[in-house]
């Protein structure tokens, strides 16, 4: 569904007429949605999927100065801190810059998630 929206937005921006006279700017945020125990156990999630997501996105954050990354779920950041503290220290700077965020939208109130995220980062960073 997300991809359909992006394609529709791109097509609408390219239509002839008045729409072309305005300059539009689109913002994209990379998102990692990881079901922690979908087809694997929790230790596999931490040892493979969290680590790979962390390493790949640290690379992209370092290489592209406008790259913004969203990793859903504060627990993933807690695992980063516990299991990969050196890499988490690198990630903390991107968190401070607002280039690494944690937003969840699965029907939960955004304010509650924002407060939870800030509570975690305020207490543990």
- Phi, psi angles (nearest 5°) of residue 24: -110, 150
Integer CA distances (angstroms), 57 to 24, 32, 38, 64, 119, in order: 27, 10, 22, 10, 23
With bands split at pLDDT 50, 70 and 90, how would you rate the model's confidence at 42?
confident
With bands split at pLDDT 50, 70 and 90, how would you rate the model's confidence at 5?
low
pTM check: above 0.75: no
Express each pLDDT in 51-103 by its tens digit.
998 999 999 999 999 888 887 777 888 898 999 999 999 988 998 888 887 66
With bands split at pLDDT 50, 70 and 90, how would you rate the model's confidence at 107?
very low
- Phi, psi angles (nearest 5°) of residue 105: -130, 20
With beta carbons less than 8 A apart as the criterion, state whether 66 and 36 touch: no
Check pLDDT > 90 for residue 39.
no
């Amino acid at each position: 569904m997300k991809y359909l929206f992006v394609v529709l937005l791109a097509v609408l921006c390219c239509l002839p007429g008045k729409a072309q006279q305005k300059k539009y700017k689109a913002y994209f945020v990379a998102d990692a949605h990881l079901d922690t125990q979908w087809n694997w156990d929790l230790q596999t999630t931490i040892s493979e999927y969290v680590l790979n997501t962390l390493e790949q996105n640290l690379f992209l954050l370092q290489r592209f100065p406008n790259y913004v990354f969203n990793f859903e779920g504060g627990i993933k950041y807690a695992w980063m801190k516990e299991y990969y503290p050196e890499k988490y220290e690198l990630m903390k700077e991107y968190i401070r810059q607002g280039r690494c965020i944690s937003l969840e939208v699965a029907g939960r109130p955004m304010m509650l998630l924002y407060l939870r995220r800030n509570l975690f980062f305020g207490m543990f960073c």
